Structure 1
Amino acid sequence: MSEVHQGRRRLLAALTVGGGLVAVGGGPALVTNARGLSGYEGAIIATWRHSDSTDLPLSSARRELVRYATLAANSHNTQPWQFRLSDRSVLVLSDPGRRLPAVDPDEHHVFASLGCAAENMVQAARAFGLRAAPSYDPAARGIRVDLEAAPPERTDLFDAIPYRQSTRALYDGRSVPPEHLRLLETAGNGDGVRMLLFTERQQREDILSYLVAGNSAQMDDVAFVEELESWIRFSYGEALSTRDGLFSKSSGSPVLPGWIGRLVFSQVFTRDAENRKYESQLRSSAGVAVFVSDKNEPAYWAEAGRSCQRFALQATALQLRHAFINQPVEVPAVRGQFATYLGIGGRRPDLVMRFGYGPELPKSLRRPVEHVILGA
């Protein structure tokens, strides 16, 4: 039975508990929810697209670079970024209102997300006839991306930007050819960041033990579960109104009116069910990539994000899917054990991603560019 079907069966079983309550007004609510589909599909098309033209004046090109940046990977799809534009640079800053204190208390994932956004800008800039040079600005606690004119060049990684997605689904278990693994290695290693690739079955089983340990700890943490639920968008209406968060359909779950989704969330979102899901997902994957930076500080966390985003774009260009499985690095006690397993000494493992061949799932939305540019 597929993972999606298993999730739907658990959901239907939960709906039978207090079924009278769900049935009252349930029909009209579901009809209303279905009407949001066309709006959602239109918003997805408008969001995940290439620019109509890359031959633009600098002021327009900067704005398009920000739009491409917002399509980057980020934790819980919180989109924790803001952008300050100047004549020849873009400053990528964190948005304090979009922190995740339970899962990311030191803001590690925030800076990694800023790095992902900056890398999209680097790849997109080349297509617009610009060279983008990112550097960490400690005074601003952000990434300054300086821009200068350069010959236009359209690359496979740029072309992949609107097609990349974190695909939280079962993959088909096929191995990745050695020549493609070499391309992934080239993309995933960076300045002060080393990527470790694990493709052997026993290696994936070893990593699975840390994944389950981290996930179990998080599922037992009330603050983590409450924070996660606050970022889930159960219906088309919720997804369209916020244009952020984890849309249930993007994970292969049914789309429901928000009040129904929240009613049954605690009954279907359990430690055992989630552990079984991750076991199936990891065992269906071709491999795991772990990104390790040289120093445990924001500048290097951002570089890890850049490396991770390049890896994700290269995977997309090779028709590979990917998804974060960061639980082993998000729980401090598990992270230390995981670092020992990796043999990386005192360095911190930053990000963990599985990859393989799999289906395309519905995409999540992004906030409009004018909502993330400071002073716009």
Structure 2
Amino acid sequence: MDHGLPDDHIVRAALELAIRAPSAQNTQPWRWRIGDRSVHLYLDPARALPSTDPDQRDLVVSCGAALHHLRVAFAALGWSAVVHRLPNPAQPNHLASIELVRHRPTAHEIELSAAIGRRRTDRRHFSSWPVPPGYLGLVTERAATLGAIVRQVTDRSRDCLVEAMRAAAERHAGDPGYSLELAEWSGRHDGVQWSDEAHEPDCAELLVLSTSADDRLSRLCAGEALSAVLLTATNIGLATCLLTEPLEIPAMRHRVRVGVLDDYGYPQAVIRIGWAPTGAETLPVTPRRPVEDVLDPFDATEVASC
């Protein structure tokens, strides 16, 4: 980058953290381009899931999570990100243009950046400890600042969500295309499963993250809010698991919208959140592609048309 802007080592360090973002089936559907004075995020259509995600909603949400991870990383490294989302209507896969200005990191930004390396998708049985309401309020507040609504799912709404999850799992079990994509991208041949060996109740909470609209910009912002929720939860010691299956089938997603969100807003993510059992082993890191594999040459003429 130009003199006075982050050097290549800082940019690479930020990208190393950005690609730790969660993605549907671990597709990692992002590509990055580094200009003289900016960083650009693109959706990679080659990572699409035709059976699982035909309208690429999950891919855009995943890229939004990577965008927020990048912003957090740069902030901790002393650079504030000025983001222009969907800067070129003629290129819908150009999701964001990021300009950087010098910035003094706050303790909160440093803590969130450190949480990136600790966050895991935890599919294990959670403990019987309840999640304090203040913690749920905090993640809700962090999502709201990024344009998303987080609803805690309780009582009859929870029954509706659990039933939608079961119905989606049954539908996918009979779909060879879904099973093939699941095995190819995530290395798993079955849906999310919880341990049957636990001897205490699982007091995990279920959260639904939604947006008021359902266009590409809303989905991108939903991914940013999702990242904020997951990193905030990790920072305060909570375990999380992103559940995509109940929203991958239009009928089930509609059922969640009506039964959980009272027909208002569009569900973009379902999150299990709770306390990992005391003494639980640290989960291994999910593999990610090297930074070199997700970098493209910078095209100045393309950016100039934005």
Larger Rg, first or second structure (1 or 2): 1
* CA-CA distance at 1:202 after TM superposition: 5.3
Q: Does 1:66 align with 2:21?
A: no
Look up the match of 2:50.
Answer: 101
Taking the TM superposition and a 5 Å limit, the aligned residue runs for 1:146-161 are: 146-154=99-107, 155=109, 156-161=111-116
How far, CA to CA, are the matches of 1:217 and 1:285 in structure 2? Answer: 27
* CA-CA distance at 1:345 after TM superposition: 2.9
How far, CA to CA, are the matches of 2:296 and 2:192 in structure 1? Answer: 41
Identity of aligned residues (%): 27
Partner residue of 1:140 out of 91, 96, 104: 91
Q: Would the alpha carbon gap of residues 140 and 65 (structure 1) be closer, same or farther in structure 2, given more than 3 Å must change?
A: farther
Look up the match of 1:127.
Answer: 76
What code does the residue aligned with 1:343 have?
A: L
How far, CA to CA, are the matches of 1:192 and 1:333 in structure 2? Answer: 25
Look up the match of 1:298.
Answer: 216
Q: Does 1:116 align with 2:65?
A: yes
Q: Does 1:217 align with 2:171?
A: yes
Task: Compute the TM-score of the two structures, normalised by the length of structure 2.
Answer: 0.84
* CA-CA distance at 1:326 after TM superposition: 2.0
Q: Would the alpha carbon gap of residues 197 and 279 (structure 1) be closer, same or farther in structure 2, given more than 3 Å must change?
A: farther
How far, CA to CA, are the matches of 2:186 and 2:62 in structure 1? Answer: 19
Gaps of 5+ in 1: 1-55, 234-245, 247-264
What code does the residue aligned with 1:206 have?
A: C
Look up the match of 2:304.
Answer: none
How far, CA to CA, are the matches of 2:242 and 2:197 in structure 1? Answer: 15
SS in 2 for 1:299: helix
How far, CA to CA, are the matches of 2:130 and 2:96 in structure 1? Answer: 36
SS in 1 for 2:292: helix
How far, CA to CA, are the matches of 1:346 and 1:327 in structure 2? Answer: 20
Maintained 8 Å contact 2:14/2:73: yes
* CA-CA distance at 1:157 after TM superposition: 1.2
Task: Compute the TM-score of the two structures, normalised by the length of structure 1.
Answer: 0.69
What code does the residue aligned with 1:338 have?
A: V
Q: Would the alpha carbon gap of residues 159 and 219 (structure 1) be closer, same or farther in structure 2, given more than 3 Å must change?
A: same
What code does the residue aligned with 2:268 have?
A: D
Q: Would the alpha carbon gap of residues 299 and 363 (structure 1) be closer, same or farther in structure 2, given more than 3 Å must change?
A: same
Deviations 1:91-133 (A, max 9, x none): 1111121111111100001110110001011111111111112
Look up the match of 2:137.
Answer: 182
Deviations 1:43-83 (A, max 9, x none): xxxxxxxxxxxxx9433222221111100111111111100
RMSD (CA atoms): 2.4
1 or 2, which has the higher helix percentage?
1
What code does the residue aligned with 1:366 have?
A: R
Look up the match of 1:343.
Answer: 261
What code does the residue aligned with 2:275 have?
A: Y
How far, CA to CA, are the matches of 2:260 and 2:271 in structure 1? Answer: 15
Maintained 8 Å contact 1:88/1:148: no
How far, CA to CA, are the matches of 1:319 and 1:59 in structure 2? Answer: 32
Maintained 8 Å contact 1:190/1:303: no
Q: Does 1:229 align with 2:183?
A: yes
* CA-CA distance at 1:286 after TM superposition: 2.1
* CA-CA distance at 1:346 after TM superposition: 5.4
* CA-CA distance at 1:190 after TM superposition: 3.7
Look up the match of 1:353.
Answer: 271
What code does the residue aligned with 2:273 have?
A: F
SS in 2 for 1:339: helix
Q: Would the alpha carbon gap of residues 88 and 372 (structure 1) be closer, same or farther in structure 2, given more than 3 Å must change?
A: same
Q: Would the alpha carbon gap of residues 332 and 280 (structure 1) be closer, same or farther in structure 2, given more than 3 Å must change?
A: farther
